[in-house]
Amino acid sequence: MNSINDNIAVAELRNLIKSAILKLDLHGAQGVGILGSLVRGDFTDKSDIDIFVVVENKQEETDSFWKRKMREGLKSFGRDTTVLVYTLKGLKEINNWYVLRLASEGILIYDKANVQELFKKIIIAAKDAGLREIKRGDSRVWSINRWLKKGETFEVRVW
């Protein structure tokens, strides 16, 4: 567990990272934020900086464009930077389990398209489908939290 001083140091680092991101040219992004250990509070000397970028559409170069931009913009922090790029369509469709993680854990720094509101809708959709966040070891995961018989399905959808 992190000490109070560690928590303060992580909070300060988080603010510095936020400032660094907001200094970048974010033209083309619908939303930018942080996730992972930086927001969970278990950030250590070895942790990566995890960034997410939400875009309207993806071209072939979109992922590498944002990875380059974020890594360049945050290089002074001396950490590996992981950059996840999502489209608004992918988020609305909840195209994989990790969209739920992003919606519940991600902290938006820049929010042009009201992605925060979309995150709220995704969480509501997950709960309406019967999912809830549970502890698995040292992590939290979204789970149906009951046994499913073979072939039993459920759907999480933002209407």
Partner 1 sequence: MVNSEESKRWLNQAENCLISAQKTYDINEFRLSVQQGQSCIELSCKAIIAQFEEPKWTHAPGSQLYSIIEDFKNSEDLSVLESLRKLAAHANEVENWHAWSVYGKEDENGKWVSASDLCTTEIARKLLEMAKISFEIASTYLCVDD
Reading the block at residue 81, the tokens are 């930077």
Among 36, 4, 32, 19, residue whose Cα is nearest residue 105: 36
Q: How does strand 49-55 pair with strand 81-87?
A: parallel
93 binding partner 1? (CB under 8 A): yes
Residue 100 binds to partner 1 (criterion: CB under 8 A): yes
Question: CA-to-CA distance for 105 and 156, rounded, in angstroms?
Answer: 18
- Report the alpha-carbon distance of residue 111 to residue 16 in Å, rounded: 18
**Interacting stretch for partner 1, rule CB under 8 A, among 37-45, 55-63, 70-78, 99-107?**
99-107
CB of 1 to partner 1, least distance (A): 20
> What is the rounded CA–CA span in Å between residue 124 and residue 113?
19
- Which of 147, 149, 144, 14 has the alpha carbon at shortest distance from 79? 14
Stretch that binds partner 1, among 1-9, 13-21, 38-46, 128-136 (CB under 8 A): 128-136
Return the number of the residue (29 or 99) whose C-beta is nearest partner 1.
99
Between residues 147 and 159, which has the closer beta carbon with respect to partner 1?
Answer: 147
46 binds partner 1 (CB under 8 A): no
> What sign results for the dihedral spanned by CA atoms 79, 80, 86, 92?
negative
Question: Applying CB under 8 A, which of residues 44, 46, 154, 159 lies at the interface with partner 1?
Answer: 154
What is the total residue count of the chain? 159
119 belongs to the binding site for partner 1 (CB under 8 A): no
Output the smallest distance, CB 139 to partner 1, in A.
5
34 versus 131: smaller Cβ distance to partner 1: 131
Residues of the shown chain interacting with partner 1 in the complex, contacts defined by CB under 8 A: 93-101, 131, 134, 136-137, 139, 141-148, 150-151, 153-157
